[in-house]
Amino acid sequence: MNVWLLYRDSEYGNTAASMNKNEIIQDLNLDVIFKTMARNDKYIYNTVRTVIMNSLTDIETIQYRQAIIEDCIHNFNDFTGLYEMVSEAIEETNKYTEATKKASSVPVSNAMSVLNSLELLGILVKHLENLKSYCDKMDHNFQSPGRKAFYDRLVKDINVRFVQKIKDSITKMNFLTEGGEITFSASLGQGLKFDNIIVNYLVKEGYKKRKTMGVVEMIIHKIFSRNMVILDDTNLARDAREMEAAGLAHILKMYQKFIKELSSFFECLRYPLAFYIGCANLYIRFQQLHIPTSMPVVTKQDMNLLKFKGLYDMSLAIYSRKTPVCNDLATEDKKLYIITGANQGGKSTFLRSLGVAQLLMQAGMFVPASYYCNRLYDGIFTHFTRREDVAMNSGKLDEELKRMSDILDEITPNSLLLLNESFATTTEREGSAIASDVVRALYENGTHIFMVTHLFEFTKATYDENLEGAMFLSAERLADGTRTYRILEKVPEKTSYGLDLYNDIITINI
């Protein structure tokens, strides 16, 4: 039974180039967003984290998810109801398996474990029936193709006959409680060992318990009955029990397959439901705060068009509970964005807001902007030099370059790279030289780069090159020095930090 709510034709799809996930989560402050989505449900937390960090790279799947998210937002109670049912089914089966495991500190007979499996199968079938009838009631509410197709498959796969068959089989097997007799057929194989063994049938023991044979009876049997072996020898009795147990274990395997299939169906269903409920949770939260979100527009790969309005940093919005400073931008055929300007001017926030929006778009979600339109990337990478790291020491540069080097191992021409004050752990001259090599090589390769930097020499040299695909942005600073935290297109300043410092400190006039 296929769920297929996250991908159109599979449970787990192909995902983007491997990204430096843990760093992205830290650099883009994503944990706050995951927590808002999870609302204390640990399973939802883990699910949204995994789903969002495995970016989609095709438009169709994104639209597929976008439609289901709309459905989920409009029929939130139906979705949560379904999610709870599935969670309950999984919890009950887990509880049952744990309980039987605990009980089995004393080794359980194979007959007993066949019974346990049957009981478990019963539980699963019960939940499956409940789920089906729940879905029957609410199906008409849904609009998205994904959610509709899921219901159609459910109706097709879980027909009454199937459920009845399982139930019958369970009843039939119950006689094992009293213990039964088992018949095998086999031949003699290599080295006279048993070979080609099959279980022929199980027979319920007679109405009255056969009483154990007395000594005289045994002797008579031994003499006259050529086909019979009396289990009076302990080794022989042990072997006979072992053979019996192996037969039951063999039968058990047949059931295990169905139990696995049914359990995995519930697991497969819980996963996408958790993701969609997480999305709805986030949506509802932003509605409550009156902060606008929107479904992004995905352009084709070859249309190099970036346009957004009212883009803000989502985690900042969650913290401050109001709409933070927003930015607008519309560009065509640009692939290198260099962002300069004063500290504390909103550059990192801008970089984060863009990264988050792109990542959520590529998860099929809505984005923190009133309008957002961009292409898809194979992979999204971040390389942030964190404040606490800027203290210059040689080990830091080594660590920084190693992280960059790891990214270079994975990055593709169609990737997005966010650089935040990279190569600031060495001298400006050396940092500029490294930055220039890295950026130029990636730029020529086609990778899209957003780069916040203080490396003056690098910025100047790049500006002087007049690259067609490059754009220079800066944190706005009003004439009186006030910061607006807005990012605008601006020619990079011609003065370097060092010259300022010189003028400030060197007071001698010649």
Partner 1 sequence: MGFCSILGRKEFPDFESEKIVMPNFFYDLNLDQVVEEILDKQRLYDLRKYYFFKPEAEDIPYRIDVLKDMEASKSLFQKIVDFSLAMRKVRKHLDNMKDSDLEIQRQKWNLDAAYYYVNVVKKLYSDLEEENLGSEGFQGFFEWLKIYTTSEPFLRLCNDTERQMQLFHEMKFNIHIMRDRVIIKPGYLEEDYCKQVLDTFEEESEVDHIYQKNPFGSFALSSLEIAVLELLQKPYAHVFDELAVFHSTHQDYISDVLTRFEEESQFYIAFCLYKNEMQEMNFHFCYPEVQAGEDFYIRSCYDLALAKKNSLRKKEVIFNDGIYRPGEKFFVVTGPNQGGKTTFARALGQSVYLAFMGLMVPCKQARLPVFDGIYTHFASEESMETGAGKLKEELTRLNHMMNTVTNHSFVIINEIFTSATSYDAYIMGKKTINYFMDKDCLGVYVTHIYELTKDDHRIVSLVAALLSEHSNIRTFRIERRPADGKSYANSIVEKYHMTYEDIKERIKR
Residues of span 248-307 touching partner 1 by CB under 8 A: 250-251, 253-255, 257-258
Interface residue with partner 1 among 12, 175, 194, 319 (CB under 8 A) is 194
Q: What x-and-dash track marks residues 141-170 binding partner 1 by CB under 8 A?
A: ------------------------xx--x-
> Could you tell me the smallest distance in angstroms from the CB atom of residue 306 to partner 1?
22
Interface residue with partner 1 among 156, 161, 193, 290 (CB under 8 A) is 193
Token readout for 50 is 């995994």
According to the binding rule CB under 8 A, does residue 208 interact with partner 1?
no
Is 366 or 450 the residue whose CB approaches partner 1 more closely?
A: 450
Using CB under 8 A as the binding criterion, the count of chain residues that bind partner 1 stands at 77
Interface residue with partner 1 among 123, 243, 305, 461 (CB under 8 A) is 243
Question: Applying CB under 8 A, which part among 58-66, 233-241, 285-293, 383-391 lies near partner 1?
Answer: 233-241
Maximum Cα interatomic distance, the chain, rounded to a whole number of Å: 130
* Residues 197, 185 contacting (CB under 8 angstroms): yes
- Between CA 101 and CA 375 the distance in angstroms is 51
Torsion of CA 391, 397, 401, 403, to 10 degrees: -40
DSSP per residue, 385-435: --GGG-S--HHHHHHHHHHHHHHHHH--TT-EEEEESTT-SS-HHHHHHHH
Question: Applying CB under 8 A, which part among 47-55, 220-228, 265-273, 367-375 lies near partner 1?
Answer: 220-228
Is 5 or 154 the residue whose CB approaches partner 1 more closely?
A: 154
Q: What x-and-dash track marks residues 369-408 binding partner 1 by CB under 8 A?
A: -------------------------x--xx--xx-xx--x
Closest to 17 measured CA to CA, from 51, 57, 46, 48: 57
Interface residue with partner 1 among 57, 93, 147, 247 (CB under 8 A) is 247
> Could you tell me the smallest distance in angstroms from the CB atom of residue 124 to partner 1?
13
> Could you tell me the smallest distance in angstroms from the CB atom of residue 366 to partner 1?
32
- Between CA 366 and CA 376 the distance in angstroms is 14
Closest to 29 measured CA to CA, from 361, 356, 441: 356
- Between CA 333 and CA 126 the distance in angstroms is 57
- Between CA 28 and CA 355 the distance in angstroms is 7
> Could you tell me the smallest distance in angstroms from the CB atom of residue 338 to partner 1?
18
Other C-beta atoms closer than 10 Å to the C-beta of 100 total 17
Interface residue with partner 1 among 197, 342, 470, 471 (CB under 8 A) is 197
According to the binding rule CB under 8 A, does residue 112 interact with partner 1?
no
Interface residue with partner 1 among 98, 157, 181, 333 (CB under 8 A) is 181
Is 191 or 481 the residue whose CB approaches partner 1 more closely?
A: 191
> Could you tell me the smallest distance in angstroms from the CB atom of residue 463 to partner 1?
19
According to the binding rule CB under 8 A, does residue 191 interact with partner 1?
yes
Is 108 or 401 the residue whose CB approaches partner 1 more closely?
A: 401
- Between CA 358 and CA 20 the distance in angstroms is 15
Interface residue with partner 1 among 143, 183, 427, 495 (CB under 8 A) is 183
Question: Applying CB under 8 A, which part among 46-54, 138-146, 382-390, 435-443 lies near partner 1?
Answer: 435-443
First and final C-alpha spacing in the chain: 86
One-letter amino acid for residue 298 of the chain: V
**Cα 430 to the center of its chain, rounded Å:** 40
One-letter amino acid for residue 456 of the chain: F
Helix, strand, or coil (residue 297):
strand
- Between CA 333 and CA 467 the distance in angstroms is 11
> In the range 33-72, which residues lie near partner 1 by CB under 8 A?
none
> Could you tell me the smallest distance in angstroms from the CB atom of residue 93 to partner 1?
18
Q: What are φ and ψ of residue 212, in 5° steps?
A: -65, 145
According to the binding rule CB under 8 A, does residue 171 interact with partner 1?
no
> Could you tell me the smallest distance in angstroms from the CB atom of residue 315 to partner 1?
31
Is 299 or 412 the residue whose CB approaches partner 1 more closely?
A: 412
According to the binding rule CB under 8 A, does residue 220 interact with partner 1?
no
Is 102 or 211 the residue whose CB approaches partner 1 more closely?
A: 211
Interface residue with partner 1 among 302, 388, 409, 464 (CB under 8 A) is 409
> Could you tell me the smallest distance in angstroms from the CB atom of residue 243 to partner 1?
6
CA 379, 292, 25, 347 dihedral sign is positive
Cα dist from 445 to 85, 242, 354, 465, whole Å: 50, 66, 21, 17
Burial 414-436 (b: 16+ CB within 10 A, else e): bbbbbbbbbbbbbebeebbbbbb
Is 373 or 442 the residue whose CB approaches partner 1 more closely?
A: 442
Interface residue with partner 1 among 1, 73, 138, 240 (CB under 8 A) is 240
